Structure 1
């Protein structure tokens, strides 16, 4: 077997933000109120207000979840869930839209007998620790897909773990099988200057991927043919004017786009969306 590519280095993240700056990370932050009075001030200030208003409008349909601020739901003794996204009821799903996405934390020795709707495809990514899913031993950055109608063998962790889970309605043929991608055995393909990626799963133009970017790397302006989900595994990333940190999540609906995708620290990202990005600039 060919040895995996050496992953790119990730710089240490900057010091935590001062409390006074934390509201700037809030997706609901009212930039217009913060810039009160600019419209009647000097032309430069007026342009800044227009830029803030345009940024707010562009991100209006996007969903941003801050892991540190999400409520925890107990699923079993020592097992908690934080909901990152839930598809609203009463409308058709967009291309690539998940039904649910969340973070599952297990204390040492915790067991979850089963999880989720067996009619949905469940994708698991281990973020921290080690875990048994359906009897399969998984460690950090290992990825596992449970197919629809596949019986759940439960989840357990001897020493504790943090998992990302994504549930979606995917057509499955009788010949389809569960899929596991082990971090230690998978390589990194060059994608763009300073960026490598790993395709974990793909079907009909959409894919689950890991991106590994070095400090200063950028992805060109692009649009989304499918809903694009980004989960920060390590490091920090700017998606336009939104700064995402480890554990944070953003869903950009199909038809939207990103002007800026850049990292100062270097980043590992789980992304679910287009297999091939639609570059527009």
Structure 2
């Protein structure tokens, strides 16, 4: 218990408490989280029907989860419940025919451009096509994306009612989004549509009373305590 008290606590992010900001006509966003030292940030963006993001280049990379609706670029459409990945150097334009709400986890920035050239294409992950892997009793995962060289990954995790993750320490950090249900740790309860940030060194345990499905973006690893 002393170890938990001395470690940095996780931070609950209530999305409804954040203000929408206009980014461009037809596109609003909420700034959810930022880590300026590593040029990382997370935003919730709302793209109105017919709105477009003009062609741009990613200087760094981006993971995007579609919460509702669908978005499209030169690689195809990413629909609700699925993910896209924009690698460093990717050049594309983004549109939404009927509107969309997305969560974007961004490293680096973007710059305007008009030429695609030999830039790497974005990637689409259909989560329903990925297998579930049992990681412990009551907890299953789908491994969506991984950057082994930099110890980064994105996973979908399903917690059955009453499942727990025993106390562990984050060596690196983690950002989670509650797709459905709720889970809790020593900082409180994270409910559907909200987020939780676990900073480097955070020690906590995770529980769920009625079950939960979460998207987790992880930098680093965890170790038992």
How high is the TM-score relative to the length of structure 1?
0.68
The answer to whether structure 1 residue 111 and structure 2 residue 52 are counterparts is yes
Shift of 1:146: 0.4
For the 8 Å contact 1:127–1:140, the answer to whether it is kept is: yes
Shift of 1:66: 0.8
Local SS of the residue matching 1:71: coil
Specify which structure has the higher proportion of helix.
1
Deviations 1:25-62 (A, max 9, x none): xxxxxxxxxxxxxxxxxxxxxxxxxx9xx9886555x4
Deviations 1:223-261 (A, max 9, x none): 112211111111111022321112212221222221x21
Correspondences of 1:89-128 after superposition (within 5 Å): 91=37, 93=38, 99-114=40-55, 118-128=58-68
User: Structure 1: which 5+ runs fail to align?
Assistant: 1-50
The answer to whether structure 1 residue 64 and structure 2 residue 3 are counterparts is no
The answer to whether structure 1 residue 181 and structure 2 residue 129 are counterparts is no
Once residues 162 and 69 of structure 2 are traced to their aligned partners in structure 1, the CA distance between those partners, rounded to angstroms, is: 29
Deviations 1:60-91 (A, max 9, x none): 5x443211010111122332111111123xx4
Correspondences of 1:1-281 after superposition (within 5 Å): 58-60=7-9, 62-88=10-36, 91=37, 93=38, 99-114=40-55, 118-154=58-94, 156-168=95-107, 178-204=122-148, 205-258=151-204, 260-273=205-218, 277-280=222-225
For the 8 Å contact 2:67–2:80, the answer to whether it is kept is: yes
Shift of 1:265: 2.4
Aligned CA distance change for structure 1 residues 191 and 274 (closer, same or farther; 3 Å): farther
Once residues 59 and 244 of structure 1 are traced to their aligned partners in structure 2, the CA distance between those partners, rounded to angstroms, is: 17
Once residues 277 and 177 of structure 1 are traced to their aligned partners in structure 2, the CA distance between those partners, rounded to angstroms, is: 32
Aligned CA distance change for structure 1 residues 59 and 255 (closer, same or farther; 3 Å): closer
Root-mean-square deviation (Å): 2.7
Larger radius of gyration: 1
Shift of 1:144: 1.1
User: Structure 2: which 5+ runs fail to align?
Assistant: 109-117
Specify which structure has the higher proportion of strand.
2
Local SS of the residue matching 1:227: strand
For the 8 Å contact 1:70–1:82, the answer to whether it is kept is: yes
For the 8 Å contact 1:232–1:269, the answer to whether it is kept is: yes
How many residue pairs are counted as aligned between the two chains? 214
Once residues 220 and 121 of structure 2 are traced to their aligned partners in structure 1, the CA distance between those partners, rounded to angstroms, is: 21
How high is the TM-score relative to the length of structure 2?
0.83
